[in-house]
Structure 1
Amino acid sequence: MTTTHPAWPDAFAERYRAGGHWSGRTFGDLLRTWAAERPTTTALVDGDRRWTYAGLDADVDRLTRGLRQLGLRQGDRVVVQLPNRAEFVLLWFALQRLGAVPVHAMPGHRRTEIGHLLHVSGASACVIPDRHARFDHREMLLELLAGQSEGGPLRHVIVVGDPGHHRQFTGFDELLDETRGGLAHGILPDRQESGPASGDLALLLHSGGTTGLPKLIPRTHDDYAYNARAAAEICGLGDDSVYLAVLPIAFNFTLACPGVLGTLTAGGTVVVSPDPSPQTAFALIEREGVTITSLTPPLVPHWMNEAASGDADLSSLKVLQVGGARLPDDVARALGPALGVTVQQVFGMAEGLINLTRLDDSEALICTT
Structure 2
Amino acid sequence: MRPTHSPHPDLAEQYRAAGHWRDRTVDHFVERAAALYPDAVAIIDGDRRLTFADVERESLRLAAALYDRGVRPGDVVSFQLPNSADAVIVFHAIHRVRGVANPIVPIYREREVGFILGQARTKVALVPGTHRGFDHQAMYAALRQRLPHLELVVTTGAASDSGAADLRSLIDSATPEMIETVRALPRADPDDVCLLLYTSGTTADPKGALHSHNTLVFENSSMIETFGLDERDVVFNPSPVTHVTGVNCALTLPFLLGAPVVLQDVWDPETALTSVLEENASFMIFATPFLRGLLEAAISRGVRTPSVRYIICGGADIPDSLVTRATEVLGTVTRMYGATEGPSVTSANRSDDPYLRTGTDGRVLAPTEVVVSDGAGSSAATGVVGEVLWRGPDTCLGYLDASLNDEAFTGDGFFRSGDLAYFDARGGIHIVGRIKDIINRSGEKISTHDVENELSEHPAVTEIAVVAGPDPRTGERGCAFVVTRDAVDLTLEEVREFLSARGIAMQKVPESIFVVDSLPKTASGKIQKFALRDWTRDRTTAPPQMQAVTISAAHER
Using the size of structure 1 for normalisation, the TM-score is 0.91
Aligned match of 1:251: 243
Aligned match of 1:289: 280
1:255, distance to aligned residue in structure 2 (A): 2.5
C-alpha contact (below 8 Å) 1:292/1:319 kept by paired residues: yes
C-alpha contact (below 8 Å) 2:272/2:294 kept by paired residues: no
Q: Does 1:327 align with 2:318?
A: yes
Aligned match of 2:191: 199
1:321, distance to aligned residue in structure 2 (A): 1.3
Aligned match of 1:318: 309
1:185, distance to aligned residue in structure 2 (A): 6.4
1:318, distance to aligned residue in structure 2 (A): 2.2
Residue-pair matches, total: 358
Aligned match of 2:327: 336
Q: Distance in 1 between matches of 2:190 and 2:91?
A: 16
C-alpha contact (below 8 Å) 1:125/1:154 kept by paired residues: yes
1:263 to 241, 254, 259: 254
1:176 to 171, 174, 181: 171
2:299 to 282, 300, 308: 308
1:260, distance to aligned residue in structure 2 (A): 4.3
Deviations 1:200-233 (A, max 9, x none): 0010112155442211100000111001111121
Aligned match of 1:35: 34
| 1:183-222 alignment, distance < 5 Å | 183-184=174-175, 186-187=177-178, 189-222=181-214
Q: Which moved more, 1:314-323 or 1:5-14?
A: 5-14
Q: Distance in 1 between matches of 2:111 and 2:352?
A: 43
Q: Distance in 2 between matches of 1:358 and 1:203?
A: 28
Structure 1 residues 348, 52: closer, same or farther in 2, change over 3 A? Answer: same
Letter in 2 for 1:171: D
Q: Does 1:100 align with 2:91?
A: no
Aligned match of 2:349: 358
1:174, distance to aligned residue in structure 2 (A): 1.4
Letter in 2 for 1:345: R
C-alpha contact (below 8 Å) 1:245/1:260 kept by paired residues: no
Deviations 1:11-55 (A, max 9, x none): 322221221111111111221122212222221111122122122
Q: Does 1:348 align with 2:338?
A: yes
Larger gyration radius, structure 1 or structure 2: 2
Q: Distance in 2 between matches of 1:5 and 1:80?
A: 22
Q: Does 1:134 align with 2:133?
A: yes
Using the size of structure 2 for normalisation, the TM-score is 0.61
Larger RCO (CA under 8 A, 6+ residues apart)? 1
Structure 1 residues 36, 185: closer, same or farther in 2, change over 3 A? Answer: closer
Deviations 1:296-324 (A, max 9, x none): 11233222221111256632222111110
Letter in 2 for 1:198: P
C-alpha contact (below 8 Å) 1:283/1:312 kept by paired residues: no
Structure 1 residues 185, 332: closer, same or farther in 2, change over 3 A? Answer: closer
Aligned match of 1:368: 359
Structure 1 residues 212, 187: closer, same or farther in 2, change over 3 A? Answer: closer
Deviations 1:159-207 (A, max 9, x none): 111121333x111111210xx3xx3462552324334211100101121
Report the secondary structure of 2:342's partner residue: coil
Report the secondary structure of 2:247's partner residue: helix
Aligned match of 1:23: 22
1:274, distance to aligned residue in structure 2 (A): 1.9
Report the secondary structure of 1:224's partner residue: helix
Structure 1 residues 187, 297: closer, same or farther in 2, change over 3 A? Answer: closer
2:234 to 227, 242, 245: 242
Aligned match of 1:156: 152
1:259, distance to aligned residue in structure 2 (A): 5.3
Structure 1 residues 184, 104: closer, same or farther in 2, change over 3 A? Answer: closer
C-alpha contact (below 8 Å) 1:29/1:97 kept by paired residues: no
1:140, distance to aligned residue in structure 2 (A): 0.7
Q: Distance in 2 between matches of 1:21 and 1:4?
A: 19
1:90, distance to aligned residue in structure 2 (A): 0.8
Structure 1 residues 322, 55: closer, same or farther in 2, change over 3 A? Answer: same
Q: Distance in 1 between matches of 2:142 and 2:80?
A: 16
Point out where structure 1 has 5 or more consecutive residues left out of the alignment: none
Q: Does 1:226 align with 2:218?
A: yes
Q: Distance in 2 between matches of 1:43 and 1:360?
A: 29
1:338, distance to aligned residue in structure 2 (A): 2.9
Report the secondary structure of 2:333's partner residue: strand
Compare the two structures and name the one with the higher helix fraction.
1
Letter in 2 for 1:125: V
Report the secondary structure of 2:270's partner residue: helix
Letter in 2 for 1:96: H
Aligned match of 1:299: 290
Letter in 2 for 1:271: V
Report the secondary structure of 2:182's partner residue: coil
Aligned match of 2:265: 274
C-alpha contact (below 8 Å) 1:237/1:268 kept by paired residues: no
Aligned match of 2:73: 74
Q: Distance in 2 between matches of 1:312 and 1:61?
A: 42
Report the secondary structure of 1:79's partner residue: strand
Q: Distance in 2 between matches of 1:147 and 1:259?
A: 33
Q: Distance in 1 between matches of 2:238 and 2:356?
A: 25
Q: Distance in 1 between matches of 2:29 and 2:245?
A: 20
Q: Distance in 1 between matches of 2:178 and 2:299?
A: 58
Q: Distance in 2 between matches of 1:346 and 1:227?
A: 13
Structure 1 residues 135, 311: closer, same or farther in 2, change over 3 A? Answer: farther
Report the secondary structure of 1:33's partner residue: helix
Q: Distance in 1 between matches of 2:20 and 2:252?
A: 16
Compare the two structures and name the one with the higher strand fraction.
2
Runs of 4+ with >3 A deviation? 2-5, 7-10, 208-211
Q: Distance in 1 between matches of 2:198 and 2:224?
A: 22
C-alpha contact (below 8 Å) 2:233/2:282 kept by paired residues: yes
1:154, distance to aligned residue in structure 2 (A): 0.7
